[in-house]
Amino acid sequence: MATGGGVTSREGLRYAEYLPPSAQRPDADIDHTAGRRLLAVGLGVAAVAFAGRYAFQIWKPLEQVLTATARKISSPSFSSYYKGGFEQKMSRREASLILGVSPSAGKAKIRTAHKRIMILNHPDKVCALGWDGLQSR
Protein backbone atom coordinates (compact mmCIF):
# COMPACT_ATOMS: atom_id res chain seq x y z
CA MET A 1 0.00 0.00 0.00
CA ALA A 2 0.98 3.57 -0.41
CA THR A 3 2.32 5.65 2.35
CA GLY A 4 0.59 8.69 3.72
CA GLY A 5 -2.99 7.35 3.33
CA GLY A 6 -3.13 8.06 -0.41
CA VAL A 7 -4.74 5.86 -2.99
CA THR A 8 -2.46 3.59 -4.92
CA SER A 9 -2.65 3.54 -8.65
CA ARG A 10 -4.06 0.02 -8.57
CA GLU A 11 -6.97 1.00 -6.30
CA GLY A 12 -7.75 4.10 -8.40
CA LEU A 13 -8.42 1.99 -11.47
CA ARG A 14 -10.76 -0.25 -9.54
CA TYR A 15 -13.49 2.42 -9.01
CA ALA A 16 -15.21 4.11 -11.96
CA GLU A 17 -15.88 7.39 -10.17
CA TYR A 18 -12.16 8.03 -9.93
CA LEU A 19 -11.65 7.74 -13.69
CA PRO A 20 -11.54 10.86 -15.86
CA PRO A 21 -14.84 11.66 -17.72
CA SER A 22 -13.57 10.43 -21.10
CA ALA A 23 -12.78 7.04 -19.65
CA GLN A 24 -16.05 6.58 -17.75
CA ARG A 25 -18.04 5.55 -20.83
CA PRO A 26 -16.44 3.46 -23.57
CA ASP A 27 -17.03 4.40 -27.23
CA ALA A 28 -19.04 1.24 -27.83
CA ASP A 29 -21.77 2.32 -25.40
CA ILE A 30 -24.81 3.86 -27.18
CA ASP A 31 -26.34 7.08 -25.91
CA HIS A 32 -29.90 6.42 -24.70
CA THR A 33 -31.40 9.50 -26.37
CA ALA A 34 -29.86 8.52 -29.70
CA GLY A 35 -31.26 5.03 -29.25
CA ARG A 36 -34.72 6.42 -28.58
CA ARG A 37 -34.50 8.59 -31.67
CA LEU A 38 -33.45 5.64 -33.83
CA LEU A 39 -36.33 3.59 -32.46
CA ALA A 40 -38.83 6.40 -33.14
CA VAL A 41 -37.55 6.85 -36.71
CA GLY A 42 -37.72 3.10 -37.30
CA LEU A 43 -41.30 2.92 -36.04
CA GLY A 44 -42.22 5.91 -38.19
CA VAL A 45 -40.77 4.30 -41.33
CA ALA A 46 -42.63 1.07 -40.56
CA ALA A 47 -45.91 2.95 -40.06
CA VAL A 48 -45.50 4.77 -43.38
CA ALA A 49 -44.71 1.48 -45.13
CA PHE A 50 -47.82 -0.23 -43.75
CA ALA A 51 -50.00 2.78 -44.60
CA GLY A 52 -48.63 2.84 -48.15
CA ARG A 53 -49.30 -0.86 -48.58
CA TYR A 54 -52.86 -0.40 -47.34
CA ALA A 55 -53.38 2.57 -49.68
CA PHE A 56 -52.20 0.56 -52.70
CA GLN A 57 -54.57 -2.28 -51.79
CA ILE A 58 -57.50 0.12 -51.61
CA TRP A 59 -56.49 2.05 -54.75
CA LYS A 60 -57.46 -0.66 -57.29
CA PRO A 61 -61.20 -0.78 -56.44
CA LEU A 62 -61.23 2.97 -55.91
CA GLU A 63 -59.63 3.52 -59.32
CA GLN A 64 -62.40 1.49 -60.98
CA VAL A 65 -65.09 3.55 -59.24
CA LEU A 66 -63.40 6.84 -60.18
CA THR A 67 -63.00 5.76 -63.81
CA ALA A 68 -66.65 4.75 -64.06
CA THR A 69 -67.76 8.04 -62.50
CA ALA A 70 -65.56 10.06 -64.86
CA ARG A 71 -67.05 8.27 -67.85
CA LYS A 72 -70.56 9.07 -66.65
CA ILE A 73 -69.74 12.74 -66.15
CA SER A 74 -68.11 13.19 -69.55
CA SER A 75 -70.99 11.57 -71.43
CA PRO A 76 -72.74 13.78 -73.98
CA SER A 77 -76.09 13.49 -72.15
CA PHE A 78 -74.89 16.12 -69.64
CA SER A 79 -74.02 18.62 -72.35
CA SER A 80 -76.67 21.06 -73.48
CA TYR A 81 -74.87 21.81 -76.75
CA TYR A 82 -74.73 19.79 -79.94
CA LYS A 83 -71.27 18.24 -80.24
CA GLY A 84 -71.68 16.58 -83.63
CA GLY A 85 -70.14 17.52 -86.94
CA PHE A 86 -71.75 19.81 -89.49
CA GLU A 87 -73.25 18.79 -92.80
CA GLN A 88 -72.45 20.61 -96.05
CA LYS A 89 -75.81 22.38 -95.97
CA MET A 90 -77.51 22.85 -92.58
CA SER A 91 -80.76 20.94 -92.27
CA ARG A 92 -83.67 21.77 -89.99
CA ARG A 93 -82.77 18.79 -87.79
CA GLU A 94 -79.16 19.95 -87.38
CA ALA A 95 -80.27 23.51 -86.57
CA SER A 96 -82.68 22.23 -83.93
CA LEU A 97 -79.90 20.09 -82.39
CA ILE A 98 -77.59 23.11 -82.18
CA LEU A 99 -80.29 25.31 -80.67
CA GLY A 100 -81.43 22.58 -78.29
CA VAL A 101 -85.07 22.58 -79.39
CA SER A 102 -87.23 20.01 -81.13
CA PRO A 103 -87.41 20.13 -84.95
CA SER A 104 -91.15 20.88 -84.74
CA ALA A 105 -90.72 23.83 -82.33
CA GLY A 106 -92.51 27.08 -83.06
CA LYS A 107 -90.90 30.37 -84.11
CA ALA A 108 -91.06 31.87 -80.61
CA LYS A 109 -89.22 28.93 -79.06
CA ILE A 110 -86.59 28.95 -81.82
CA ARG A 111 -86.03 32.71 -81.40
CA THR A 112 -85.66 32.35 -77.61
CA ALA A 113 -83.11 29.53 -78.02
CA HIS A 114 -81.22 31.51 -80.70
CA LYS A 115 -81.11 34.61 -78.50
CA ARG A 116 -79.81 32.56 -75.55
CA ILE A 117 -76.99 31.04 -77.63
CA MET A 118 -76.09 34.39 -79.21
CA ILE A 119 -75.84 36.02 -75.76
CA LEU A 120 -73.66 33.16 -74.47
CA ASN A 121 -71.33 33.38 -77.48
CA HIS A 122 -71.22 37.16 -77.82
CA PRO A 123 -67.62 38.35 -78.50
CA ASP A 124 -67.67 40.84 -75.63
CA LYS A 125 -68.54 38.08 -73.16
CA VAL A 126 -66.29 35.46 -74.74
CA CYS A 127 -63.19 37.68 -74.71
CA ALA A 128 -63.53 38.00 -70.94
CA LEU A 129 -62.94 34.25 -70.77
CA GLY A 130 -59.65 34.59 -72.63
CA TRP A 131 -58.37 32.58 -75.55
CA ASP A 132 -58.71 29.25 -73.69
CA GLY A 133 -62.35 29.94 -72.95
CA LEU A 134 -62.99 30.74 -76.60
CA GLN A 135 -61.38 27.51 -77.75
CA SER A 136 -63.38 25.38 -75.32
CA ARG A 137 -66.70 26.51 -76.81
> pLDDT (tens digit, 0 to 9) for every residue of the chain, 137 residues total?
455 555 555 555 555 565 555 555 555 566 778 888 999 999 999 999 999 999 888 888 888 888 888 777 755 555 565 566 677 888 888 888 888 888 888 899 999 999 988 888 777 776 666 655 555 55
d(CA 33, CA 30): 9
DSSP 71-123: HHHTSGGG-SS--SPPPSS--HHHHHHHHTS-TT--HHHHHHHHHHHHHHT-H
Contacts of 125 (CB under 8 A, 6+ apart): 119
